[in-house]
Structure 1
Amino acid sequence: MNQDRKKKHHLDSSFQLKIGESTVLEALKRFCRAIVEVFGERYLRTPNANDVARLFQVGEQRGFPGMLGSVDCMHWKWRNCPTGWGGQYSGRSRSPSIILEVVADYDLWIWHAYFGLPGSNNDINVLESSYLFANLAAGTAPSANYVIKGKSYNMGYYLADVIYPKWVTLVQSIHDPRGPKKQYFAKKQEACRKDVERAFGVLQSKFAIIAGHARLWRKEILHDIMTSCIIMHNMIIEDERDINAPIEERSEVQDVGVEMMNDGGIEQFLARHKKIKDKDAHFELRNALIDHLWDEYTNSEN
């Protein structure tokens, strides 16, 4: 019997695949680069008109008409950060890290991913550097029309933490809500905003390589690794998505043309950029959402 066990062990060990460390790393780099090149256009696209319509419908069902998802950042600790960059990439944790900014929706699909800023930056610095609102400022984003309390709006928004700036495209919670209306709004906003936090958790649980410390030296390789993990995450979401969910898809949409940057183009770009950062419009939108949530989901009065 012992001889049989030894024979079986010998046969099992003979089929083990032995690869050198350098070969494994090279295979990893080529695999990630191939994933990005082949599938990036589909699984890292910005929302088109049909996507916006779907997101708006789900957002309205959850009490937030015009919501496109939730935005937040996470830090990927960089163990092999070059010594000369240590101070630049070290934040409050005093450990070098690289920041990932994402937008996730209700089923954890990641629509936007911006990776690469040093960990010493905060969420506001990352937002200012990223291209999240580039299409909107350029006038090439799909139309986004919705109504709250009888007033029409034409720019979608993302739910965000209180650290984010007060822009019309970002709806924050209320740090210290006073009164039942604001308390109810804060509760609903924070519940929906957990979508992006759940997306981070699911992403790290699926791919151990980004759950631990980054162990490579070159940032462009780390970028490919992170991007390929996000692409494969979206592939899994697509495969597991309930295709029978009661969400209406728009079969006919109008293409959005790209505006040329002519004499008036620069002025229009600056005007749209200023509109995105309109603080008064931010508070107006948030107050409208506070009233909408209270009127639609409670039977109480002021």
Structure 2
Amino acid sequence: MLGLLGDEWTLLIVQRALLCARRYRDFVAALPVSNAVLSNRLQNLTEQELLSRSEYQGNPPRFEYLATSTSRSLWPMLTSIWEWERRWIPDHPEPLPRMRHTACGTEFTPLVTCRACEEFADDKSVAAQWGPSGSWERSIPAAGTRRRSAARRSGAAEMFPQTMSVIGDRWAFALLVAAFVGVSRFTDFQTQLGAPPVTIADRLTVFTEEGILVNSEARYRLTEKGRAFFPVLVCALAWAQRWFPSPEGPAVILTHTACARRFTPVLVCDQCRGRLRGSQIHPVS
């Protein structure tokens, strides 16, 4: 999942495909992306079956890129990212618009509920444990996007600036997941993740500066802003385990403690309480 989605351009191209961009010129018009980067990402997304390429003109040949079932099912994660960035990151170059739920016609905030009991769920009511194919070692990719300084961020990173500081870096993502399951001391982060001390120190500093963690009495704890990232994490995990299953079984097992059943996230509209569908979500112009 991190190997595919730990790249801001990939996420933004998929988002635009879900908003009906199809042709090369549609993506160029919607995103501040160079031709070389766009061509590279479209090729990679096609190879990974997040987009399908279809010829719509023969002479000269022209192609359009259509969302697949795999990419269409990313809408809960993308919706959660949009809401988190809109609410918690005030310094966007352009403020992110609110979202409208076309089923009820109102501006809304997505809420996470449990598929089994349909009740609200958050990080305090969902317990995580390793499944048959899970471990810290196996869940951290051997290679990943290196964390980039603010000076090296692309135009895309400015659109999802702090989300990419989490999912755009393998150690940062793993560290935040560890914080959600209760790890708080520097030495415990290092022991659990198996990362060099300088790596742990660097990611803790970034998260503290961004207000995702707070350092108190030698413990790093999630802030309200950090806990609000929960929908992104569980939607990303649900997507990964759906499309990249292991024959041994799931990597992570989530339980909703309120109903004691297996937890699968479902997003609902906070206004009408109806289940959201990707096709029913539109930015407010």
| TM-score relative to the length of structure 2 | 0.27
Q: Flag the structure with higher strand content.
A: 2
Q: Which has the greater radius of gyration?
A: 1
Q: Flag the structure with higher helix content.
A: 1
| TM-score relative to the length of structure 1 | 0.26
